[in-house]
A and B are shown apart, each in its own frame.
Chain A
């Protein structure tokens, strides 16, 4: 991978680790491995369990891959 992709595994690790907290790193990594249908589905799941918007990298950092 030569550029950071929105919705990639590492993007999911970033989102889950920062949303659930580093103290839940194990579960964050396991959830990042789930084959999410879309980044939006993943973010909706994060919001549903944390009650907050997903935390993590800024969208401006992403190259969407389109």
Chain B
């Protein structure tokens, strides 16, 4: 005796197998409105509501997870970010002009050192690099701004 092939259960080839019928944004498949369909939920009385009220509530607002495309944040340069955040840069005026320049040091500056030693440091470094900078200023295509800086450096050394 032959038996007919078993054909109960299993995949019936329904619409869920068709990728075109699935909403890529989630939600309720072919409805495409990003909202889950309202459903009558029985036995809500114990929670102080009725099934009809719950159903009305569901149609009132989008689901919490309703996907909305996010707007990409425009990319800012570091300088723009600093400017927009109101942060000071290294070259900004101090916010606390009455604070001593030695604030934060473990001990006070020695008496023979003035607070601002920039001039001395400038002179020291310029002396070290001036010969090479003079040579570099003769390179074809050297920008005028570089030549001006070299002239300033020569002036500092000559006093």
Interface residues of A (CB under 8 A from B): 1-4, 10, 13-14, 17-18, 20, 22-27, 29-30, 44, 47-53, 55-58, 61-63
Contact = CB atoms under 8 A, between A and B. Distances in A.
B83 A3 contact: no
User: Shortest 4 CB-CB distances between A and B: which pairs?
Assistant: A57-B143, A4-B141, A47-B79, A14-B146
Contacts of A49: 89-91
Given A13-B133, A17-B149, A56-B143, A26 B79 contact: no
Contacts of B144: 57
B145 A44 contact: no
Label chain A's interface by main secondary structure: helix
B45 interface: no
Label chain B's interface by main secondary structure: helix
Nearest to B79: A47
B110 to A, nearest CB: 20
A8 to B, nearest CB: 8
Given A23-B118, A55-B145, 7 more contacts: A4-B140, A10-B139, A10-B146, A13-B133, A22-B149, A49-B90, A51-B92
Contact of A61 (B78, B136, B143, B152): B143
B129 A29 contact: yes
B143 to A, nearest CB: 2
A57 B139 CA distance: 13
Interface of B: 77-79, 82-83, 89-92, 118, 121-122, 124-126, 129, 133, 136, 139-146, 149, 152-153, 156
A40 to B, nearest CB: 11
A13 B135 CA distance: 13
Contacts of B89: 48-51
Contact of A56 (B90, B122, B125, B146): B146
A47 B149 CA distance: 20
Contact of A30 (B125, B133, B139): B125
Most B Cβ at <10 Å: residue of A3, A22, A27 = A22
A4 B79 contact: no
